[in-house]
Structure 1
Amino acid sequence: MDQPALAPLWRTSEWLNTPAPIDLEAQRGHVVVACAFQMLCPGCVAHVIPQIKAVHDLFGPQGVVVVGLHTVFEHHDAMTVTALSAFVHEYGIRFPVGVDRPADNGGPVPQTMAAYRMQGTPTLILIDRAGQLRRQIFGHIPDLRLGAEIMRFVDEH
């Protein structure tokens, strides 16, 4: 069986809810759960934001690093950092949220989204303690299944 590849580094322009940027390489030794979302994505707002908040509350105390990645590939003018800050406050998001860096060529797909070859939002990313991308899910995954997958990586040594 092929060995999983290292997760691509996040390419962000700024961070909310953290005093310093979250460096993915510095998270080695921790299970990382990242959620790529857009604040104007109905599926993100209705399903994945509440789910990732619960993951943060349940698994954060166990050392799981939970991160949001605001990955804007449409409606760029409406989804500013100021609007995102208000969204994060209003929805009670306490985990760090990185703003995906816009494409260098001026295209619509931001850099982290391109590096992970995401199909859209929401996208859930599970990274093991060795920094390997173990699972990437486009869309919503049931809570119980997500919890079981996170625990599988937490229990790995």
Structure 2
Amino acid sequence: MTVKVGTKAPNLHISTWVQGRSTNIDQEKGNVVIVEVFQVNCPGCFMYGIPEAITLYDKYKESGLTVLGMATAFEDYDKNTLENLQKLLATGEVIGETHKALSMYGQLRDGKLPYKIPFPVAMDILKKENGQITESKIMDVIEANVPDFRAYSEKDKQVLVERVKMYLKGKEYSAKTFEEYAMRGTPTSLVIDKRGNLRYNLFGATGQLESIIEELLKE
């Protein structure tokens, strides 16, 4: 079952804490929590998502905000690895499309990130796929991402089913937290209130995060 906004936020599925203290959502009740979900090979994550999370961490960490980073992988499995995450956190070294984009926009210093991530960072659990594409798997993907699928015409339903089949054929791993929270991509910000309920699941750079945090801190 995927997690819906307004319901209790389950703990993150963590393979290892790469940086900072080991914690989880059930240990952070009483605080507002941002889980900033990213991939190592994701330019937007390092241009927008993570810098915004760092700004909020610095501004509100003494006011009841917890920020956690979670690296995941739903594509580019050869680049979005634990080893590349460890290198990133230890040295600031970025790879692949992230390096290319940040270089193009002058956002690297001596080829590395000009900032350090100050909050705890974990790696999502990745489970190797068995290669079997079942109707159940196809429908799980569709129901998590296309809530109005049943209203589609039969022709459009079939087109979508074929697209999902192609996606599953190229899928080497399932990322447990990413899939349980039905994320659409990275960067994603999961926002959890002081009672441990998922209040927002924000994909991309929305510009809404600070105002949301300020409201939730008042509750």
TM over 0.5, yes or no? yes
- SS of alignment partner, residue 109 of structure 1: strand
Normalized against structure 2, the TM-score is what? 0.65
The yes-or-no answer on 1:141 pairing with 2:206 is yes
For 2:128 and 2:193, how far apart are their aligned partners in 1? 29
Q: Quick one: which amino acid aligns to residue 96 of structure 1?
A: P
Q: Quick one: which amino acid aligns to residue 151 of structure 1?
A: E
For 1:108 and 1:82, how far apart are their aligned partners in 2? 16
- SS of alignment partner, residue 174 of structure 2: coil
Q: Partner of 1:62 in structure 2? A: 63
**Which structure has greater helix proportion?**
2
Q: Partner of 2:146 in structure 1? A: none
- SS of alignment partner, residue 6 of structure 2: coil
Contact 2:32 2:66 in 1 (8 A): yes
Number of corresponding residues = 151
- SS of alignment partner, residue 32 of structure 1: strand
Q: Partner of 2:118 in structure 1? A: 94
Q: Partner of 1:18 in structure 2? A: 20
Normalized against structure 1, the TM-score is what? 0.89
Q: Partner of 2:133 in structure 1? A: none
Contact 2:36 2:69 in 1 (8 A): yes
Contact 2:40 2:79 in 1 (8 A): no
Please state how far the C-alpha of 1:79 moved relative to its aligned partner. 2.5
For 1:147 and 1:63, how far apart are their aligned partners in 2? 14
Question: How far does the alpha carbon of each residue in 1:89-132 deviate from its partner, in whole angstroms, 9 at most, with x for none?
Answer: 41401101110001364543300011101111111111000000
Q: Considering only aligned residues, what root-mean-square deviation do their CA atoms show, in Å? A: 1.6
Q: Partner of 1:7 in structure 2? A: 9
Q: Quick one: which amino acid aligns to residue 120 of structure 1?
A: G
For 1:16 and 1:70, how far apart are their aligned partners in 2? 10
Please state how far the C-alpha of 1:150 moved relative to its aligned partner. 0.1
Contact 2:89 2:117 in 1 (8 A): yes
- SS of alignment partner, residue 45 of structure 2: helix
For 1:139 and 1:108, how far apart are their aligned partners in 2? 23
Q: Any stretches of 5+ residues in structure 1 without a counterpart?
A: none
For 2:58 and 2:38, how far apart are their aligned partners in 1? 18
Alignment of 1:68-87 (within 5 A): 68-87=69-88
For 1:16 and 1:96, how far apart are their aligned partners in 2? 8
The yes-or-no answer on 1:43 pairing with 2:34 is no
The yes-or-no answer on 1:154 pairing with 2:217 is yes
Contact 2:128 2:173 in 1 (8 A): no
